[in-house]
């Protein structure tokens, strides 16, 4: 798994690539918790994820809950059909703001 981060105004965009599973979800948790600091909105690009399991979903839920504690907006975008399916199977998609594109996710429109 690889992650990269860049800021656009007071929005931080984190891109996740590769496999997110038991061996990598801990690392993702650290990255996301760190990325929540000092920004108004954190958006996660899921488009590069090849494989996601329930530990990856759990990590995203933990990051969402942490964002609520720090009053940081939190959104996901670019979900592939494979990733969407894991969200469907875990019945948690409704708790996230999900967008198709980065532009939408950064702007927060049409959630």
Partner 1 sequence: MHSSEARSRSGIRFRVEWRLPSDPAFLPVVRGAVEKLCAVFGWTESEVRSITLAVDEALTNVIRHAYHKRPDGMIELICEEKEKVMEFLISDTGDAPDASKICSRAKESQAAGGMGTHIIRDVMDTADYRRSGQANHLVMTKRLKQSVEGK
CA 94 to chain centroid: 14
For partner 1, the binding residues (CB under 8 A) are: 19, 21-23, 51, 53-55, 57-59, 61-62, 65, 81-82, 85-86, 89-92, 95
Distance CA 90, CA 109 (A): 25
Shortest Å distance, C-beta 24 to partner 1: 8
Of 3 and 59, which CB lies nearer to partner 1 in the complex structure? 59
Of 61 and 107, which CB lies nearer to partner 1 in the complex structure? 61
Of 95 and 111, which CB lies nearer to partner 1 in the complex structure? 95
Distance CA 89, CA 44 (A): 20
Contact 60, 33 (CB under 8 A): no
């Amino acid at each position: 798994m690889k992650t990269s981060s860049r800021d656009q105004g007071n929005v931080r965009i984190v891109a996740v690539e590769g496999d997110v599973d038991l061996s990598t979800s801990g690392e993702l948790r650290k990255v996301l918790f760190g990325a929540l600091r000092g920004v108004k909105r954190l958006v996660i690009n899921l488009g590069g994820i090849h494989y996601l399991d329930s530990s990856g979903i759990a990590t995203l839920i933990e990051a969402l809950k942490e964002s609520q504690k720090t009053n940081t907006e939190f959104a996901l975008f670019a979900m592939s059909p494979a990733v969407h399916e894991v969200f469907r199977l875990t019945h948690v998609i409704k708790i996230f703001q999900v967008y198709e594109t980065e532009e939408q996710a950064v702007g927060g429109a049409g959630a």
